[in-house]
Amino acid sequence: MENHGFDKPGDSGSVIPYIVIALLTLVIIILLVVFFLGPDSINGLRNAIGLSSQSSQNSEMVDGSKPSAPGDSGSVALSQSKPFDGVGGPETPGGVSPSGQPGTTESPRIPGSYQGALDASSCAGLADNVEAFFNKLDTRDYINSFQLDSPISVYFPELIQKLVNNPPIVSGESDDLFTILQNTAHFFRIIGKKNILVLKGILDREQATFEQILFDFYTLTAQPECLQDRFSLTIGQDPMYAFAGFFLNTMGGRLYLFRRDSMSRMVVNFYAILIIEQANEEGRNKYGIDIKDAIDNLIIEIESSRIKLQMRDFYLDTLYDLKVKYQSR
């Protein structure tokens, strides 16, 4: 009788060697992934796929040990958050100063509280800060190497407006593979490769001032007239909600942030949470985006990260206030 077994003499050989080779290859791949992914990247990957680790600090917060304003049932105002006090001083990668050159660092211009950015003079002051940042970028060699057709003060608002006019898909992303791929490549489709390289260059080289400028710009979004007058920008609440939901609640948005550095990912997630929180308070969370897990995950990531954020206390105090608030919901 003809033998059809795997170990038939003269046949291609047993499948066992192939299984062993496959297992060895898998082990090598796992070791390489563990070797090249540092703790920050692994935490980012866990957050990107919706996982969270437990920590003693997280368990402390479950019983509401972080003090909050008594009877605060409304929106958590950032003015109640503990302001950035500069303890430890800002730390920038490689000792790079906000000017982009090695040397000393500058302290961030964080106001005493978020409310301090909303006074009568905030439009002029905050817009001046953003314009000064744009003017500084115009002097950078890496920016000049892109040979942009307009100064940054014109280029950047036009780029932002283009993104605002073309928000990503927030709901129904998982309905089909094409939608997932569209979201994953959203920025590439809307603004193109060159503009993405410009933005990446800025994120890589301007980390010393990134947090401050994003704080200033986010504050200005509460003053649409100011944005229109100073930057010719029209940013409504719906596009901001769409991008916040994109980063927090879609596979494409999470994967995009996972490809960025830890600092950028944490800061963007922080403001995305604030935008969804505002939508909750105003009854505009039409897709029912839940930020409870996002709050917990971001607290864990900030507290476990080796990146010393300039506004770390500000972020954590605000997130803890939100955590206490959403425990009762």
Q: Is the pLDDT of residue 43 over 60?
A: no
Q: Token digits for 180?
A: 């997932």
Decide if 4 is inside a domain. no
Decide if 109 is inside a domain. yes
Provide the number of structural domains found in the chain.
1
Decide if 202 is inside a domain. yes
Decide if 5 is inside a domain. no
Tokens 């283009």 belong to 162
Using alpha carbons only, how large is the chain's radius of gyration in Å? 24
pLDDT of residue 222: 92
* Angle value at C-alpha 100, between 99 and 103, nearest 5 degrees: 80
Decide if 3 is inside a domain. no
Q: Is the pLDDT of residue 84 over 60?
A: no
Least confident span in 50-64, 83-97, 154-168, 183-197: 83-97
* Angle value at C-alpha 216, between 232 and 254, nearest 5 degrees: 90
Helix %, strand %, coil % of the chain (to 5) = 65, 0, 35
Mean pLDDT, the chain, rounded, equals: 75
> Percentage of residues in the chain with pLDDT exceeding 70?
63
pLDDT confidence tier of residue 92, bands split at 50, 70 and 90: very low
Global pTM value? 0.67
Q: Is the pLDDT of residue 200 over 80?
A: yes
pLDDT of residue 169: 84
Q: Which domain holds residue 151?
A: 37-327
Q: What is the DSSP string of 35-100?
A: HHS-HHHHHHHHHHTT-----HHHHHHHTT-S---TT--S---GGGSPPP--TT----GGGB-TTS
The arithmetic mean of pLDDT across residues 45-67, rounded, is 41
Decide if 143 is inside a domain. yes
The arithmetic mean of pLDDT across residues 10-20, rounded, is 56
